[in-house]
Structure 1
Amino acid sequence: MSSQPDHQPRRTLEVTDLQVSVGDHLVAVQDVSFTIGRGESVGLVGESGSGKTLTCRAVLGLLPATGHVDRGRIVLGDGADTVELTDAKRGTWDRVRGLRLGAVFQDPTSYLNPSLTVGHQLAEQLRVKRRLSRRDAHARSVELFAEVGLRDPAGVFHQYPHQLSGGMLQRVLIAIAVSCEPELLIADEATTALDVVIQAEILGLLRRLRETHQLSLLLVTHDLAVVAETCERILVMYGGQIVESGPTEEVLRSPRHPYTQALMGVATIGNWQRRKLDVIPGQPPAAGAEMPGCRFAPRCAYASARCVAGAVPLTDLGHERSARCVLVDDLSAPSVQEVSA
């Protein structure tokens, strides 16, 4: 007797050749491709202005008024559950946001209505998206507040945003984001404004929710230490392009792009208290800046005429690794152990 086929989607999200422009044809994101598998956690890392947030907002259909996708594809799900999000209409987004896509951002106060209790805002999501009754939405809201680690969840239900701390508000936002059991949760700098203790608690919460809700996670951050602790795979972004990708442990052990290597020098990974943290010289390119060749070349210790002679492709290195560097086969990068020594 033949076994039943596995109907579980193997792919949660696939982004192919994404290009995003802002304003007067300023290309801010270019040639971005990646896939997130079901239940997988992926870290998107880079300095401010690297294009991380624009990439996520393109996936969520929340680009600024002056932003638009020039080319590429954004596909959610796999098989019969596939939804094309590129140029999706409002009806599609109504069926996807909240239900299949959840999001948590850096400043929860910007995404919560100060005139409504946090419980009302969560319950309203459940009533609209899941069509629960008022009583069931209230009960489920209290359960979710307990699940994300809020003390006295029944009491928190009746509180307003200004009555809660930053860490509590971030937990409320996470509860709202996972309330409808989405396939993918996008956390964009969700722990940046929190102190290190609360940050560790939120990261632990995200890991636990991944397991209990079978979530895929796209974690956006500038901090390699956060990715090292949370994500199975890493995408390193610079100047609107992905410059390196691969399994997190392997990339951090042996980075194959000078920018990743430079990030390792400023990251609090390993026994960082025994070494002096480096500084990456110069500034990232302005969004939309036209640059021949490698965009990191002006700040790179290895730069030569080869680096600016023409566009540098993303080279497949095998074993799910890739890097965008003309020296990719020659670069000798320090490992985590060497950096930490």
Structure 2
Amino acid sequence: MPEPVHAPVPAPVPGPDSPVLEVSDLQVSVGDHLVAVHDVSFSIGRGESVGLVGESGSGKTLTCRSVLGLLPTTGEVDHGRIVLGGTELTGASRRTWNDVRGTRLGAVFQDSASYLNPSLTVGHQLAEQLRVKRGLSRADAHRRAVELFGEVGLHDPEGVFHKYPHELSGGMQQRVLIAIAVSCEPELLIADEATTALDVVIQAEILDLLGRLRQTHGLSLLLVTHDLAVVAETCERILVMYAGEIVESGTTEEVLARPRHPYTRALMGVATIGTWERRSLEVIPGQPPAVGEDMPGCRFAPRCRFAAEACTVGPVPLTDLGEGRAARCARLDVLEGALA
């Protein structure tokens, strides 16, 4: 007898100009109520590619896992809203998450081997996704899985279907994960450090693949990375995070041409982006504040060479600069032009 298939709840029909994702005033705590993400707000348009950048520990992954409903057991959304194409995900039921994840919302993470079952062939894992989420027959799931492996650039996709994860290279494993993530035509794909562990050649191929899949599948992309150079090649907009806060946002072209926050400028000092040729290694002095540390004023001030007394009292709001740009700096007027 065929396996029963759970029919997902139909997605709301959004307007043509409505964002695919809206995150508003998101606050996430971990451990003993230590606030790790502070009032984060952003949106992603349909078909848009957005980069979320910052150092390790800046809150990027916790923000993404909140959107995916995959916070660690010690993590909790304190307040805020997460809306995917009209569906409210904050406090959503298990059934809603089961309907959304893997169908309307896909994800690819850094360590591909950790997300593939070593005891099952990769083809079986993709075909199972298609059977459970799309209701395909065994034969149709096999056929579609082979097609998807071909779409993501795997040579001999039929042969790959029958291989186990350990028989594939890291780049091939990542392509398998991408195939699984896009198999049900998601509205949004979250790629969290998806190319970090790969060599530069494979990294470029994966980024090119993500760009092609955006065009062929019409999906939106949230690319999470610590590397501004990767975002410069891939994304239309940038969100810069530091110590759990968004400190700057805007179009990729504008932010890289005229950074308005000292932290963005510091990140650019260790990346090869356009005319920002790295001649010698730059280091941001000091360390980010500990998770949950209560700091008056700007959280970057202790490490900022432009800091003044005005930076140590606060809080410092995220200021709308117009034309889609914003920055969280107490000395915006003083530093305008000094960071370029």
TM category, shorter = over 0.9
- Listed one character per residue, the Cα deviations across residues 280-314 of structure 1 (whole Å, up to 9, x for unaligned) are 11111222221111000010001111111121000
Aligned to 1:74: 82
| Distance in structure 2 (CA, Å) of the matches to 1:286 and 1:200 | 34
RMSD of the alignment, in Å?
Answer: 1.3
- Listed one character per residue, the Cα deviations across residues 179-208 of structure 1 (whole Å, up to 9, x for unaligned) are 000000000000000000000000000000
1:248 matched to 2:256? The reply is no
Aligned to 1:48: 56
SS in 1 for 2:320: strand
Give the letter aligned to residue 177 of structure 1: A
| Distance in structure 2 (CA, Å) of the matches to 1:135 and 1:322 | 51
Aligned match for 1:11, one of 16, 19, 30: 19
Aligned to 2:273: 269
Moved over 3 A (4+): 6-9, 271-274
Q: CA deviation at 1:252?
A: 0.3
Aligned to 1:97: 101
Change (3 A) 1:285 1:274: closer
Aligned to 1:339: none
* 1:31-180 superposed matches below 5 A: 31-77=39-85, 82-180=86-184
SS in 2 for 1:245: strand
Give the letter aligned to residue 327 of structure 1: R
Q: Percent identity?
A: 79
Give the letter aligned to residue 50 of structure 2: V
| Distance in structure 2 (CA, Å) of the matches to 1:273 and 1:93 | 44
| Distance in structure 2 (CA, Å) of the matches to 1:301 and 1:7 | 45
Aligned to 2:7: none
* 1:213-252 superposed matches below 5 A: 213-252=217-256
| Distance in structure 1 (CA, Å) of the matches to 2:36 and 2:53 | 16
SS in 2 for 1:266: coil
Aligned to 1:291: 295
Normalising by structure 1, what TM-score?
0.94
Normalising by structure 2, what TM-score?
0.94
| Distance in structure 2 (CA, Å) of the matches to 1:117 and 1:29 | 38
Q: In the alignment, is the contact (CA less than 8 A) between 1:261 and 1:333 conserved in 2?
A: no
| Distance in structure 1 (CA, Å) of the matches to 2:277 and 2:246 | 30
| Count of residue pairs the alignment pairs up | 327
Q: CA deviation at 1:333?
A: 3.8
- Listed one character per residue, the Cα deviations across residues 233-276 of structure 1 (whole Å, up to 9, x for unaligned) are 00000000000000010000000000001111111212555622
| Distance in structure 1 (CA, Å) of the matches to 2:313 and 2:288 | 20
Task: Return 5+ residue gaps in structure 1 as ranges.
Answer: 1-5, 336-341
